[in-house]
Chains A and B, each alone.
Chain A
Amino acid sequence: MSSAKRIAAILLRQYYLMRGSTSRVVPLFAWVAVDIVLWGFITRYLNSVSHSGFNFVPALLGAVLLWDFLARVMQGVTMAFFEDVWSRNFLNIFASPLSIHEYLTGLVASSVATSTVGLVVMVSIATLAFGLSFFAYGLMFVPFLLVLFLSGIALGIFGCALVLRLGPAAEWFVWPIPALVSPFAGVFYPLSTLPGWMRAISYVLPPSYVFEGMRALVAHEPFSFGWLAVGGGLALLYVALAGWTFMRVYRRAVRTGLIARYSAETVS
């Protein structure tokens, strides 16, 4: 019960910050909405000029939506963490009964709340304005989201560990992480398009399994649930690895005194 209260405190903090700040609320849906509108028109145009009969809406617009969801989940975790970085709150947080496990769970809970807002807006625009039908994915939409959610959580926690280790200025390493991963994850093209060395990296990235599966479903090709399960297993492994990395970085910070003097601009 107390543990749930401590986790709720982190979530409540995010709620208070959101409630009082338009500049925090608008980015939850504005940029993903722009992305969906942009790609909605691109897919509409591609459908009009392509005579192959291939429907680009579920393949491309759906891919953008799913990828943006992963990015929102990751940013949901890192943004909640950055609030403590920006407000120099580490000493108050880490000198309290709050455990690292509870703290990270609170960041994840914040991310669930904020990424849900983005997802609802994206799905609404994609469905109402561009006719994206999630029936094309069937029930697989749920495991697709789950694997991407876990991947976003893993990237988010890893990003937090990076900033805790390298200092506040390292947040600029964190923002581009989704963009760095996307070429390898085959968001817009089949993995067979990639050269061998890039494909080798793709196979260790859980989102690759989601986007390959999504394209197979849209093209009415055979889809292996076992293949997606591999992606899910990898995503779970990465969440555990990211948590372990954060814990190791935190313990080092406690050993070296970094937590106590984190307010410095760079601490590396």
Chain B
Amino acid sequence: MSWYRANRWWVLRLARLPLDIFVFGTIAFFLVRLLPGDPVSVAISSRSGTVSPEAIAAVRTQMGLDGTVWDQLLRFWGGLFQGDLGHSLVTGAPVIDEVFSRLPSTIELIVLGLIGAFVLCLVLGFLYLRFANRALRASIRVYSSFATTVPVFVVAIFLIVIFYVILDWLPAPLGRVSSGTLPVITGFPLVDELLTGNVDLFGETLVQYIMPVAAMVLTYTPNLLTQYIGGLDRELVQPTTRFQVAAGVPRKWIFFSVFRRSLSSVVVVFGLFFGSLIGGAVTIESLFGFGGIGALGVRSVQSVDFTALQGFLVVVVAVCLIAMLVVDLVNMWLDPRRRPGIESEAS
């Protein structure tokens, strides 16, 4: 019982996760049906000649769009509980397969880009504290002020123009491999290439990743860095840091302590970007000819593919919710005052 009391917070949070997904899925179900256009007429418009009402009804039934909206909602719920998101209205493939064949490659790209940005942010934060050089500190601060001002695709286009068009140091942005198909085991391209022993393909994909990952690192580092530098500036003048110096704590410990105390808002911003990029990475993916989950969303809006779109939304929300859960757990580890059930005086 005491275990439950101590761990209640995250147990309940885990238990609530499916509920949140269910509620959001229901909202997505209705929102998707507000899209202008009827998928049945889209499907039929490609046929030549007149189409009988019976044929239209048959197509409607086949697509699962017969009956009232409430009938459809019940079928959607039923599928949701079994982990079945229905079949795409356009390709006829199960939506869950469509989603999970694309999700890992997007996650791979986001993880590389954001982890790169996080590492660069830590390095610049370290330089910011370690060296009193005015010019260095001012330029780090200027770089951090670029936060949210330049979109990632602008940086990516600049990189393509410079390193492919002008210098020709990097290959054309035309997909993860120049020819052939990617092996599929886990769905994560780099992992699969290693697992199947295709070292050549692995190297090729790595080279293709240089520009998109660099664009993401350059674009997202300032967002993390403003939070980090703000935290460092704040913690540096805190009595805590002064007392650590005055009590004779070795400098290595003081650095670590200041870093740790400044990190929580960086972790939050990291989580927010991770969530928004699940769908939002589509701009950079399409620029470099990569497939990804975002492309599925765009395609299903264009083709009024209700089931694919609502499946896409449910999965994106699930990933975001899990990311925010991880953010909270990391922050609780960084700062024990955030742990549930702790009443702290003004900190």
Instruction: Say if A and B assemble together.
Output: no
